[in-house]
Amino acid sequence: MLHTPSGGAGHGTAATDSGLMSIGAVLNALRGEFPEVTISKIRFLESEGLIEPQRTPSGYRKFSAQDVERLGHVLRMQRDHYLPLKVIREHLEAMERGEAVQLPVVGRQRDGQATSEPFEPLDPASAARIGRDELLSAVGVGAQELEEWESYGLLTPVEDGAYDAEAVTVALLVVELGRFGIEPRHLRAMKAAAEREAGLVDQVVAPLKRHRNPQTRAHAEARAKELAGLTVKLHAALVRTALGLRLP
């Protein structure tokens, strides 16, 4: 049985008498657990065949409770297991056939060995790492594609040849953008902008990092995380403004 996402289907204010929900109601139902989900994301997952909502005669999508449950499962597999859509689809098909499904776990590297503990992206205290082969398996791409991404600076291995945990998120986003015809070479501007934003944050917290007091240095890390979150939100808002888009 698939897990029901937080804020389940019964919370959709636009549910019809038949129990079907509009895409806006589905969005509200999912956002409790998945605050970053958007209507565009739901439509994209539909276009990839991961959900098949009903359509009204006028063409509006209507989602059942099972559709919402399935969506939550797809989003959870992306978030918790960093699985590419192809692998998620295979898992869903296997579950529909009644087969037992063992989800892969992206492990953190310790002394060159992968453990069964799930990593936590960008957690400096745990220094999560993922090996090259593990990254390729998690994202579902070949070595040639990874080398192309590296050539454009989108991914960079650390000293031991492994990657930090956030590399999986970056790689999955590069794959999804590629489905819309956006190639890695087009993303160099985004990489450059991210580096400039990171430099700005570092300028603000650098004096705190150099402080003798350990508590002050710890405060620098918290401040950096807070500033990083704000810059990401500002960047997203500026992109939406430039495109003339509004949040649903």
Task: State pTM to two decimals.
Answer: 0.49
Q: Which residues pair with 130 in a beta bridge?
A: 163
Give the alpha-carbon dihedral of 175, 177, 180, 184, to 10 degrees.
Answer: -80
For 199-207, the CB contacts below 8 A with 24+ separation are 200/231, 201/227, 201/228, 201/231
Q: Going residue by residue through the chain (248 aa), what tens digit of pLDDT does each one get?
A: 444 444 443 333 344 446 899 999 999 999 888 887 888 889 888 888 889 999 988 889 999 999 999 999 888 888 777 677 777 888 888 888 887 666 655 443 333 333 333 333 333 333 467 888 888 887 888 889 999 999 989 998 887 788 887 888 888 889 888 888 889 999 988 888 888 988 888 888 888 878 777 777 778 888 888 888 888 888 888 888 998 887 65
Angle at 55 between CA 54 and CA 57, to 5 degrees: 145
Residues 84-120, buried b or exposed e (16+ Cβ, 10 A)?
bbebbeebbeeeeeeeeeeeebbbbbeeeebeeeebe
Task: Give just the sign of the alpha carbon dihedral 239, 26, 4, 93.
Answer: negative
Q: How far apart are CA 206 and CA 224, in angstroms?
A: 9
Residue 71's nearest CA partner among 88, 95, 57 is 88
CB atoms within 10 A of CB 28: 17
